[in-house]
């Protein structure tokens, strides 16, 4: 039996599908987060150089991965929106931006908390930190551009253009910052600890990554439902009461 | 369409913008004055120590150039947007990206080139000399067109949007980071005796990439704004 996937590109069809999927993603995300954090904090061995402080890696690294990954996903949705002129793609791009910005902020915050005990400073102008900070600025730019334009269609397409410009720019920023950094200071803050990562550590980190991934899907689907409820006429769908509730909670 | 009519159109766009700027010279002079004032503020804030000034000179001069370029961005499209000339450009048979490239080139002639020409003087204020001054001029010569190119994307995106002046800064400044790094890096490395070639080559690469991509992005943004 073949499924007509293109049916779900219409918001009316996608709305209930998203509603059915959210609980599954959310439950599995919470369960995996529990497993990953337990493994990270209780099973994984203590690092011989950094002691217990390294354990923030189980939040920090997956958050940093997600922040970059979500930017690319957002740009892909923006590109699909531009290419196919699909409303749902723009809504997805809009829904991804806040989650991506949140993970970027989380990566910076946990990085600062990790940097204080290991490097002795909350902030250093390391290449990764700097490019992550600039990534946060780009997320902020996209969200600000969207909110300053009242016309939805123009807001969608303008922020899509900016997201696509950004995706070209992010690698350039990354490499330029890396070269700038090597010019200015030595590798005193290199993240390579030299020790090979224990397999439980790696496993816990991967579990946390999958958990963050599923969490992102759940949150983005919930947000995209709110965006649909805001933009489209509510009376079209039978889940009307649920829609109003969701929209009220989102505000 | 014949190739000659395309280039004729671009030439006319450049000629018109430069002519308009010459008729109202104070507009173009303002961003240059801004640059001079901002650069002069730094010694007052940091102190007149020559060694310190020499160390911060590349960064200060480049950041000031970047801000001066940013402030002049609103002039690229706004007047044409208000009086409807931009709409005619979108409707013109010539490719919009090409006309946009012409407008950006004119913008660079008006607000970028004066910065390049003035920079040796400002460099002398900060105690730069010889090779470093040359690196400063060359890096600005390669870098400011890139700034105009990237800035035009932002200017087109915020066309007619409320609070556009501040918004364009927030959009464009993160995109300016590589140019700033390579530009200031060229001056710093020539001061350190490493030679500026590597950074200047990277600036040239940025310029080529932005020449290739930015007009298309700007044209797309303009079409969206004028829809």
User: CB contacts < 8 Å between A and B, how many?
Assistant: 74
- 8 Å CB contact of B217 and A148: no
The residue with tokens 């060359």 is: B138
| Contacts with A189 (C-beta within 8 Å, 6 or more apart), sequence order | A119, A124, A126
Asked whether the beta carbons of residue B177 and residue A138 sit closer than 8 angstroms, the reply is no
On whether the CB atoms of residues A190 and A104 are closer than 8 A, the answer is: no
Report pLDDT for A189: 41
Q: Which of A104, A134, A162 to mutate to test the interface with B (most CBs of B within 10 A)?
A: A162
| Mean pLDDT value of segment A179-185 | 61
The mean pLDDT value for A58-86 works out to 91
Question: Cα A66 to the chain's mean position, in Å?
Answer: 5
Q: Using CA coordinates, name the residue in chain A closest to B162.
A: A148
CA distance A243 to chain B (A): 31
For the record, the structure tokens of B100 come out as 């946009």
Neighbour tally for A190: CB within 10 Å? 9
Best to test chain B binding among A176, A181, A185 (most B CBs inside 10 Å): A176
**Helix A199-231 × helix A57-84 angle, to 10°:** 40
A171 class by beta-carbon count within 10 Å (0-12 exposed, 13-18 middle, 19+ buried): exposed
Predicted pLDDT of residue B94 = 86
pLDDT at A188: 42
Four-CA torsion B196, B198, B202, B207, nearest 10 degrees = 50
**Residue of A146, A163, A180 for testing the chain B interface, max B β-carbons within 10 Å:** A180
Measure A128 CA to nearest chain B CA, in Å.
Answer: 14
Task: Name chain A contacts of B178, Cβ cutoff 8 Å.
Answer: 169, 172-173, 176
Residue A211 has pLDDT above 50, yes or no: yes
Q: What is chain A's Cα-based Rg?
A: 20
User: Using CA atoms, how far apart are residues A132 and A191, in angstroms rounded to an integer?
Assistant: 15
Chain A CB contacts of B185 under 8 Å are: 179-180, 183
pLDDT digits (tens, 9 = 90+) for A110-122: 988 888 887 778 8
* Cβ–Cβ < 8 Å for A227, A91: yes
Res A194: pLDDT: 45
pLDDT of A16 above 90: no
Residue B201 makes CB contacts below 8 A (sequence gap 6+) with none
B208 touching A (Cβ < 8 Å): no
Q: How far apart are CA B159 and CA B155, in angstroms?
A: 6
Average pLDDT of adjacent 10-residue blocks, chain B of 227 residues: 78 91 85 91 88 89 93 88 89 90 93 91 88 91 94 92 86 91 89 84 92 93 89
pLDDT at A49 over 90: no
Give me the sign of the Cα torsion angle A153, A154, A155, A159.
positive
Residue A181 banded pLDDT, cuts 50, 70, 90? low
Q: Do B225 and A158 touch (CB under 8 A)?
A: yes
CATH fold for domain A25-214: 1.20.120
Residue B206 touches chain A, beta carbons under 8 Å: yes
A144–B170 CB contact, under 8 Å: yes
What local confidence, expressed as pLDDT, does residue A190 receive?
Answer: 46
- Give me the pLDDT at residue B68, please: 92
Q: Do A179 and B181 count as a contact with CB atoms less than 8 A apart?
A: yes
Kindly determine whether residue B202 and residue A176, on different chains, have CB atoms separated by under 8 Å. yes
Nearest to B175 among A154, A169, A183 (CB): A169
User: What burial class does residue B177 get, using C-beta atoms within 10 Å of its C-beta: 0-12 exposed, 13-18 middle, 19+ buried?
Assistant: buried
Is the minimum CB–CB distance between B220 and chain A shorter than 8 Å? yes
Q: How far is A188 from chain B (nearest CA, A)?
A: 21
Residue boundaries of the structural domains of chain B: 3-226
DSSP letters for A195-228: SPPPHHHHHHHHHHHHHHHHHHHHHHHHHHHHHH
Q: Which residue of A has its CA nearest to B156?
A: A158
Residues of B in contact with A149 (CB under 8 A): 161
Tell me what pLDDT residue A246 has. 60
Interface touch B188/A134, C-beta < 8 Å: no
Residues of A with CB under 8 A from a CB of B: 82, 134, 137-138, 140-141, 144-145, 148-149, 153-154, 157-158, 161-162, 164-166, 168-169, 172-173, 176-177, 179-180, 183
Angle between helices B164-191 and B50-71 (to 10 degrees): 140
pTM of the predicted model, to two decimals? Answer: 0.85
> Is B174–A177 a contact, with Cβ atoms under 8 angstroms apart?
no
Longest dimension (CA), chain B: 61
Check: CB of residue B104 under 8 Å from CB of residue B148: yes
Q: Could A144 and B167 be called an inter-chain contact, meaning their C-beta atoms sit closer than 8 Å?
A: yes
Given a contact cutoff of 8 angstroms between Cβ atoms, the answer to whether A99 and A219 are in contact is yes
Give yes or no for residue A1 having a pLDDT over 80: no
What is the nearest CA distance from A218 to chain B, expressed in angstroms? 29
Nearest to A181 by CA among A227, A236, A142, A124: A124
| Nearest residue, CB atoms, A141 vs list B170, B177, B181 | B170
- What are the backbone angles phi and psi of residue B191, rounded to the nearest 5°? -70, -35
């Amino acid at each position: 039996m073949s499924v007509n996937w293109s049916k779900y590109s219409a918001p009316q069809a996608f709305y209930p599908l998203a509603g059915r999927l959210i609980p599954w993603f959310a439950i599995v995300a919470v369960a995996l987060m529990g497993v990953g954090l337990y493994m990270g904090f209780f099973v994984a061995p203590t690092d011989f150089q950094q002691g217990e402080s390294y354990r923030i890696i189980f939040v920090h690294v997956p958050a940093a991965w997600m922040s970059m990954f979500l930017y690319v996903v957002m740009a892909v949705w923006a590109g699909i929106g531009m290419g196919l002129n699909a409303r749902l793609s723009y809504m997805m791009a809009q829904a991804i931006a806040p989650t991506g910005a949140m993970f970027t902020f989380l990566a910076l915050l946990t990085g600062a908390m990790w940097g204080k005990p290991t490097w002795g400073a909350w902030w250093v102008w390391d290449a990764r930190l700097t490019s992550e900070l600039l990534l946060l600025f780009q997320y902020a730019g996209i969200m600000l551009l969207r909110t300053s334009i009242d016309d939805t269609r123009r807001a969608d397409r303008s922020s899509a253009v900016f997201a696509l410009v950004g995706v070209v720019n992010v690698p350039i920023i990354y490499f330029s910052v890396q070269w700038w950094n090597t010019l200015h200071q030595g590798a005193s803050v290199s993240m390579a600890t030299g020790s090979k990562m224990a397999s439980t550590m790696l496993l816990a980190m991967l579990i946390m990554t999958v958990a963050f991934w599923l969490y992102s899907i759940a949150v983005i689907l919930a947000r995209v439902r709110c965006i649909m409820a805001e933009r489209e006429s509510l009376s079209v769908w039978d889940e009307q009461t649920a829609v109003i509730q969701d929209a009220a909670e989102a505000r | 369409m014949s190739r000659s009519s395309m280039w004729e159109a671009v030439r006319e766009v450049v000629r018109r913008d430069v002519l308009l700027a010459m008729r109202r010279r104070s507009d173009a002079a303002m961003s240059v004055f801004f640059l001079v004032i901002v650069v002069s503020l730094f010694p007052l804030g940091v102190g007149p120590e020559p060694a310190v000034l020499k160390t911060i000179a590349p960064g200060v001069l480049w950041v000031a150039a970047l801000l001066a370029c940013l402030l002049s961005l609103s002039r690229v499209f706004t007047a044409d947007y208000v009086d409807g000339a931009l709409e005619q450009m979108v409707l013109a048979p010539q490719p919009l990206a090409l006309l946009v490239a012409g407008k950006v080139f004119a913008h660079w002639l008006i607000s970028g080139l004066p910065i390049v020409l003035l920079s040796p003087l400002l460099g002398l204020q900060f105690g730069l000399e010889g090779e470093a001054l040359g690196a400063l001029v060359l890096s600005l010569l390669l870098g400011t067109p890139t700034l105009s190119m990237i800035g035009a994307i932002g200017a087109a995106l915020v066309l007619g949007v409320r609070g556009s002046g501040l918004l364009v800064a927030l959009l464009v400044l993160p995109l300016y980071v590589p140019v700033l790094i390579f530009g200031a890096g060229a001056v710093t490395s020539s001061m350190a005796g490493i030679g500026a070639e590597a950074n200047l080559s990277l600036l040239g690469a940025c310029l080529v990439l932005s020449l290739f991509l930015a007009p298309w992005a700007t044209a797309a943004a303009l079409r969206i704004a004028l829809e």
